[in-house]
Each structure stands twice: as structure tokens, then as C-alpha cells.
Amino acid sequence: MVESIIALGGNIGDVRQTFSTAIERLDGVPDTRVVRRSSLYDTTPVGSAAGERYLNAAVCIETEFQPDRLLFVLQAIEESLGRHRTYHWAPRTLDLDLISYGERHVLERNLIVPHPAMWYRRFVLNPVYEIAPDCYHPLLNLTCRDLLFDLLRRPVEVFLNCPTDLASTIKSHIGWRFFGNSVAFSYKASDAFIIFSTDISNNPRSVLLPEQQPEQFVVQVLTGILDEPQIVGYL
């Protein structure tokens, strides 16, 4: 069996009960069992239309399913518990994300593992670290423990690989949102924690900027980095 990490999130309805039901259903899937579960974390919504504060958690499972089949199971559980996909960062009853699948790197049309954003989101890393600190990221060559410690360093070193006018817009847009010493702009990509780029890159720390509202995207990513999740309960 392969050990896999699933992240849970939600901010609509009785989220704790939804999480409990989702975990129960996941544990009832043939050839799959839940072996560890994290605490519940209260986290800041990411995105201007994300709604109320979120609860987040993570579970570690052992499964015989291949990644694509496991994704199908997770989406079926989401839909059975009222998940409706509308727009990105929309409020939701339940989000089940496949974070890792052993130490494999999976790159398919509808599935990337490890989850491409897991390394810069505290609402993912905090609960994952709690249950699987040695979970390994095969592209960054780091454990979850290493990833979280990197994420906690301040200031967050940001490198902008984009045209000068866009870089100026991004800097001015985020300058008044993140005061103090929380964010710094690096002059070298090699010194940066995260690289925002208008070009596709093989660098695992490079994040592709969208064509529409790239400055808002940077704010959303930095919000996920700088959040301070709080334990508010247990699964």
C-alpha cells in the first residue's frame, strides 16, 4: 500500500461535521484506510471572494489505488457532501486535495502530485507537518519539516521574473498590504523563497503569473504564506 496525504478545507456549513463524514467515507473505501489525522486549523481565506474564515486539516491514508483513481474517489466524496465548483477560491463545503502519493511525482492532464501549491501554503503545511513531518517533496528535495521551516523565515524573499512595468505594479500593489519586515524583494532568483514569473520555468520554486490580475494573484499567494493558522479542535 502507498501512503498518501489528503488536505481538507471548507468554510460553508458545519465544516467539522463535514470533515468527519468525509474521513469516515474515505476510510470506508475498499483497499484504503485512514491511519493518521491532524488537528483542525482556523485559517485566513485566500482570494477576495473566498468568504468566511476556513477550517483546514489533513489525513494520512494508505491505499492500493493509483493516483488517478484516488482523485476520482476524492471528487466523488466532495460532490456527495455538497461541493459545487464555480469559480477559483469560491467558498466551499469541502475541498479534498491530493497532496502527496508516496514519493512519486505525477504529471497528468488533470492531476499534479505533489500538489503544486502545497509548499507555499501554511494552511496545508501546518496540518501536514503535524501528521507527516518527513513527507518528502521529490521536486524540491525537501521534507515537509524543511518546507515549513523555510516558509516561516522572515522576510519572505520574493523574486519577480517579469517585465519592469509589471514588477513595479506588483510592488506598489502589495506594498501597503504587507507592512513591516514580512516581505522583501530579492535581486537574485537563487536567493528567493518564491519566484513569480511570466515565463514557464523548470525551477520548482517558480510560480507562473496569470495574464489576468497578476498583482491580485501575488497578494493571494503571499496571504497563504504569511497566515498564522490556529488549532481550534480535533478530528
Catalytic residues: 83, 92, 95, 97
- 108 φ, ψ to 5°? -125, 175
For 96, how many CA atoms within 13 A lie in the half-sphere containing its CB? Answer: 28
Measured CA to CA in angstroms, residue 207 lies from 70, 94, 97 at distances of 26, 25, 19
Answer yes or no: are the C-beta atoms of 131 and 41 closer than 8 Å.
no
Sign of CA dihedral 31, 33, 35, 40: positive
Fill in the amino acid letter for 83: R
The rounded Cα 158 to chain-centroid distance in angstroms is 18
Q: Which residue's C-alpha cell is 486535495? A: 97
Residue in the block written with cell 504587507: 178
Q: How does 41-63 read in b/e, with b if 16+ C-beta sit within 10 Å?
A: bbbebbbeebeeebbbbbbbbeb
Residue 60's SS3 state is strand
Alpha-carbon distances, residue 126 vs 100, 199, 227 (angstroms): 15, 30, 11
